[in-house]
Amino acid sequence: MRKAGGGYHGLVHPDPALSWRLLRRERFRDPVPQTRWNEDTYEQITDPFDEGGAYWDYRSMPGPAQWSGEWMPARNALPPTPPFRSFRKHLAYGDDGWLGLELYARDHDNDGVISATDGDPAFTAVTSDGTPALRLDTPRHTDAGVVHNSRPLPRFYRVELRVGRPHFTLAELDGSELGGPWSDAAQGNGLYLLAILDAMPVPHNNTWIHPRKIVSIDSFVTPSIARASGWEGPVNVEYMGLRDYGASDAVARANDFVYYLHCLGGEDSRWHPDNRPVCGYRPDGWYEVTIERNTVGFELSIAGRFDGESHERVVRGSIAFDEGMVWHGNRPGEPEPDFATNPATWPSGGHPHYFVFGVPHINWYRGHAHFADLRLYEGLPVEPGGGRT
């Protein structure tokens, strides 16, 4: 067990069935490679929630789309092209390009070039508080930038990451932020410290990530959340639970998605089906975040000195696959869940898992943060005698 901020700091229920070996470690010492911006024409549609995906054809339908049976109703025509030009960068980083760095920018002056006046988001290798780190800058709320693994995670995994000096509070907003054309006013800010998705994490509109998210440690703040929590940078520790799980009002609250957000309680260790920050970050602080998938379920933790507190501590949460009916929690080759699932939204065969951190939304969030000492471990089954199988 290591100290907070210095590596793995212990979880709620360590899994004795696994031993852990370090697969990858990235200290972000190498410069970030340079490449040109490529225009996004919204023609490569891989998901109903992509910018040109089928979901947006039906937003004007009365009531939510009921996805029982086919994944989406038949498409009629491509939605109108947004009234601006968008550009992307993909950068391979680390040994064998094991990491993907993704950037998105909007061409606000429509001159076909991404410049400082457009926002020009960037990843930069820096030294922060004496530590090599990767700095992410998203100067405008229409910028985005994420880091992800290039190949799916192993069956059992633990991801550890240090996140430092996060500035994604209301202070970074100027009041002019708009989420369109994929959402209304974007008067909120946030940062994904570490999350697990069931698809390759590439920046998209703020709706895209929600049906893709499995577990997450992230920050989201609006004026009302700041007033209620007392934190400018509130942090949520959360998992996605299957729709209708454990909620008597599930039908009344049903929306276009197929899960419910469950957040770790701020004053207890229970999970609650609502947005409930568990702590707040300090913009000058460093935090150790960990997500582990073992044979039982997921373990999540964040450690550091939190806003308004005088000492470092660890916030931990644990959720078993079946206990929480964790959304798309099974990996390829594993049995299907014991609980009932809809084949349209939970196809058989398991789901690849990817980690992601940064700013995933192309129409929300602006600020800057540092990321350091990323570690990926693989869990290997232990024989009854104590050895690895």
DSSP character for 96? Answer: G
Q: How far apart are CA 84 and CA 108, in angstroms?
A: 7
- Identify the domain containing residue 313 by its residue range: 18-35+90-381
Q: How confident is the model at residue 70 (pLDDT cuts 50, 70, 90)?
A: very low
Domain count, the chain: 1
Share of the chain above pLDDT 70, in %: 84
Residues shown for the chain: 389
pTM summary value: 0.90
For residue 62, is it within any domain? no
Asked if residue 291 belongs to a domain, the reply is yes
Residue 100 belongs to domain with CATH number: 2.60.120.200
pLDDT digits (tens, 9 = 90+) for 271-308: 988 888 999 999 999 999 999 999 999 999 999 999 99
Lowest mean pLDDT among 28-37, 104-113, 162-171, 291-300: 104-113
Is residue 75 domain-resident? no
Rounded to 5 degrees, φ, ψ at 10 are 90, 145
Determine the 3-state secondary structure of 229 from DSSP: helix
**pLDDT tens-place string over residues 357-385:** 999 999 999 999 999 999 999 999 987 76
- Rounded to whole angstroms, how far apart are CA atoms 155 and 144? 29
Task: Give the pLDDT band of residue 225 (cuts 50, 70, 90).
Answer: very high
Count CB atoms within 10 A of the CB of residue 42: 15
Whole-Å CA distances, 1 to 11, 23, 162, 272: 10, 19, 16, 29
84 contacts: CB under 8 Å, gap ≥ 6: 106, 107, 108, 110
- Residue 251 domain flag: yes
Q: Please check the confidence at residue 258 and state whether its pLDDT lies above 80.
A: no
Q: Establish if 60 belongs to a structural domain.
A: no
6: in domain: no
Residue 249 is given by DSSP the state T
